[in-house]
Structure 1
Amino acid sequence: MFGENMKSFKLLLITDDKTMKSNYKNSLKESEIKVYQIGSDDQFDKAIRDLEPEILGYDISNCSQNFIQDLETMRTNFPDVVRMIISNTPKEKKVVNALFEGFAKVVLPITPNEKSVSLIKNILRIRDEIESDEVKHFIMSLDSLPSLPTLYDDIMSAIRDDKDLKYIAKIIEKEPSLASDVIKTVNSPAYSIETSSLQTALAFLGINAIKDVIVSFSAFKEDLVPKKSLPYFKILQDHSTLTNNYTHEMYQFLFNKKLNKNIASLPLIGNIGLILLLKSDHNKFLEYLKRLKDFDDYNYEDLDDEIFNISHSKLGGYLFNWWGLPIFTVDATLNHHKEFIMNPETAEFIEAFRVADILAWQKLGYLEKVQIEEKYTDIFLSPEELRSKREKIAEEERAKAKKEEEIKPSEKKREIIEENHKKKKSLFGKFFSK
């Protein structure tokens, strides 16, 4: 991304720390990013309009105590500017809340390091991908975009104010179909919980997952597509549910642990861009599904590009960014068909998600020619079959090790013979040299 022909980017630091600008400037000197600074008492609104930076770094250690309000103002007035919090306490509750609610994308340290520089570059890479001309052109061609329910802000506000689950449940109950979706989600095989209580469901899901379920609810409203497209919309709904279930099972199978609650519901919404493809052109989507049956590549986004001239991952990333979802959600959605991922901590999730995505399609009769590695398909073996297979592999490894041990003495003997031969040759050489 950062090459000779790339335009330069502007990072505006809002801080009273006089050394911060020089620190960031030195760290970013090899990049195309120019660093600027204003103080906490300066009018950031005017500075942003005048400078037009791509990135804002807001130092919360010596700026306004109402930094959430400031960030919210920035998000409203300058939605295209990437907002970053600068703080050495990334796990502080107010910082976590700001990220959770989408007021800022990431947290940078007061003194930049190699990791933070890489993070800034990757954020800009993501920004370029989801705000490219092709994405904007596609989005502009749609008559509307899925929107979050009106009570979404109320729920986020309640979470920010530390309201209890009973309070949050009452807000959700104002939208009965959303309440039903939350309960249905926790009763799915992915969670293996049986409850008809919304409050219990919320307690099990966790705060972060509640957000994903609301997003899923918004994405899969049937009025998003024309009636003639509803059968194919239903396929996408089924694919979403299956992908979610398979991701949880695969993650547990591969890594012997449960999926972190912060991303537990992400598989429900990871392919949201497919809905936008269906919404854009019914006939093209029919062709897409027809071709998908015989497609034989893990990365079926190549088919997206061929038929729609854009990938569903980029569209999903755009939509999540537009909704103000956390950057790791945008990143995971944008890259779930690729091996690259911005945050190594989500690499395990992506591995499980990628395979689950294909398995879900195959369950529905698509992508059946894609060859899935044996280490993943073992998930379908019964416990007895899996144990037997592992015992067989272990036995083969022991036999191989034993054979290697038996070979070693003969190899040692050969080495001794060769060494003696060299010595004799050396003696003969000395004799004849005389």
Structure 2
Amino acid sequence: MQINILFVDDDIDILNGFKRSMYNLRDKWNGFYASNSADALKIIQHENVDVCITDLFIPGISGSELLRKVKKEYPKTIRVLLSGNPSAKYSVYDYSVAHQYLTKPCNIEIIKEKIEIPILIRSLINNEKTIIKLTGEDGIPSFPEIYYKLECEIYSPNVSINRIVNLISKDIGLTAKIFQLVNSAFFGFPTKIKDLNQAINILGLNIIKSIILFTKVFPYLEMSNALKEFIESLWNHSLVVSTISQRLTFYLTRNRELSEHAYIAGMLHDIGKLIILNMSNQDKTLLNVLDIINNENEIKKFLGATHSEIGAYALSLWGYPNSIINAVLLHHSTLELNNFNITTAVQISNRLANIEGIDFSILEKFDSIESIVELINTKEGNKDEIPGKNPIG
């Protein structure tokens, strides 16, 4: 299947550069090119455009307005906004319509990396209505304003931790979640952390961003008691999985960056469940879905995709690293022990988190992954299970 990509930019040299780069990908990608919004809309009307990549500033309506029209009228299209200045304080209104935003200059390899995975994962979703909902108006929400502001500050040439602390401190709910996490038993500090600056430094900005996603993207968090209880339970489960994933990864690799990615993957491994609830809230089927949300077979029948596939699709649209996307996609798949990675860590941690009486000290009691998996299989009653190759890869 060929992917149809529309590039929109009023700089002819940039468009010609995309054309030259696309030549080597012509067996997989079809390129379409427009120098203004009017021509872009004509192309979209006549072609099945999978991805629209537009500069923010183009003749006619702006790039963000173009994507707003695409979002409404062609909801299956993946929307990417290009900007020439990564530190500019553009309006959240501009970025709220894009699944991703990339900075110029942006070569074709970066674009290829960012859009091939969403297209691939989307092919796993066997329901046209679900794809339209997820990519269009009512499915995967845009990043909240604080996420964009944090991104702008992080990528500013004059980044300031004091401005970051000030930004986060204005959000009382987010600040409370950060203190709740950093002072939990997961971190085990002997004294209570009361300084937000210290808490942010302990957790790291990537983990802060994942907390924002979990707690701020979805608008229904203040609804029914049953929904609140489910989300709080999901939050607690995700914290356990993320912590075990981080510790297991560091225990086996001594790689701090990899361990941080394992933490993020663990925290977001069930985010597909939140997205499903968000979708079902839009079409008033929330209560029915809440009854089957933990039943993968029922969810697959209902939506044509599992929560793992939906969560991975969301993270791929948001531009998360492939290692984290893969861990979310495959966290219920069969273990592959020959090549330990973040996916393996989240798979093991998710299963450990569901075993009663297991705590973080388990990693100090075993000298190999195999011994931990043997314990899991015994506790789950799967004594004869032999870990095999992942069915998806």
- The question of a shared fold, defined as TM-score above 0.5 by the shorter chain, is answered with yes
Residues 1:135 and 2:130 aligned together = yes
Residue 201 (structure 1) aligned to one of 179, 199, 202 = 199
Match of 2:350 in 1: 357
Give the secondary structure class of the aligned counterpart of 1:28. Answer: coil
Match of 1:257 in 2: 255
Residue 321 (structure 2) aligned to one of 318, 325, 328 = 328
Match of 1:428 in 2: none
Match of 1:48 in 2: 40
Structure 2 gaps of 5+ residues are: 72-76, 335-339, 372-393
RMSD: 5.0
Residues 1:380 and 2:374 aligned together = no
Residues 1:125 and 2:120 aligned together = yes
User: Residues of 1 paired with 2:360 and 2:367: CA distance?
Assistant: 7
Larger Rg: 1
Structure number with the higher helix fraction is 1
Give yes or no for contact 1:105–1:326 (8 Å, CA) kept in 2. Answer: no
Match of 2:305 in 1: 310
Structure 2 vs 1, CA of residues 327 and 361 (structure 1 numbering), >3 Å: closer, same or farther?
Answer: same
Residues 1:83 and 2:80 aligned together = yes
Q: How far off is 1:55 after superposition?
A: 2.9
Structure 2 vs 1, CA of residues 117 and 362 (structure 1 numbering), >3 Å: closer, same or farther?
Answer: same
Structure 1 gaps of 5+ residues are: 293-300, 341-346, 366-376, 391-434
Q: How far off is 1:27 after superposition?
A: 1.3
Residue 27 (structure 1) aligned to one of 24, 44, 50 = 24
For 1:382-410, what per-residue CA distance to the aligned partner results, in whole angstroms no more than 9, with x for missing partners? Answer: 45x639x99xxxxxxxxxxxxxxxxxxxx
Give yes or no for contact 2:193–2:199 (8 Å, CA) kept in 1. Answer: yes
For 1:103-127, what per-residue CA distance to the aligned partner results, in whole angstroms no more than 9, with x for missing partners? Answer: 42699974x57x9767654342245
Residue 181 (structure 1) aligned to one of 177, 181, 184 = 177
TM-score normalized with structure 2 length: 0.64
Give the secondary structure class of the aligned counterpart of 1:359. Answer: helix
Identity of aligned residues (%): 14
Give the secondary structure class of the aligned counterpart of 2:235. Answer: helix
Q: How far off is 1:223 after superposition?
A: 3.5
Give the secondary structure class of the aligned counterpart of 1:362. Answer: coil
User: Residues of 2 paired with 1:287 and 1:22: CA distance?
Assistant: 47
User: Residues of 2 paired with 1:226 and 1:364: CA distance?
Assistant: 30
Where in structure 2 are the equivalents of 1:15-414 lying within 5 Å?
Answer: 15-16=12-13, 20-21=17-18, 23-31=20-28, 33-38=29-34, 42-43=35-36, 45-52=37-44, 53-56=49-52, 75-79=67-71, 80-83=77-80, 103-104=100-101, 110=107, 120-127=115-122, 133-136=128-131, 151-161=146-156, 162-188=158-184, 191=187, 195-218=193-216, 223-260=221-258, 261=260, 264-277=263-276, 280-282=285-287, 285-286=290-291, 289=294, 301-302=296-297, 304-306=299-301, 309-317=304-312, 320=315, 325-328=318-321, 331-332=325-326, 335-337=329-331, 348-363=341-356, 380=362, 382=364, 386=367
Q: How far off is 1:252 after superposition?
A: 1.5
Q: How far off is 1:287 after superposition?
A: 5.4
User: Residues of 2 paired with 1:81 and 1:195: CA distance?
Assistant: 42
Structure 2 vs 1, CA of residues 308 and 126 (structure 1 numbering), >3 Å: closer, same or farther?
Answer: closer
Structure 2 vs 1, CA of residues 17 and 234 (structure 1 numbering), >3 Å: closer, same or farther?
Answer: closer
Q: How far off is 1:198 after superposition?
A: 0.8
Match of 2:382 in 1: none
- For structure 1, which segment, 237-246 or 101-110, has the greater mean C-alpha deviation from structure 2 after superposition? 101-110
User: Residues of 2 paired with 1:123 and 1:147: CA distance?
Assistant: 16
User: Residues of 1 paired with 2:353 and 2:104: CA distance?
Assistant: 35
Give the secondary structure class of the aligned counterpart of 1:37. Answer: strand
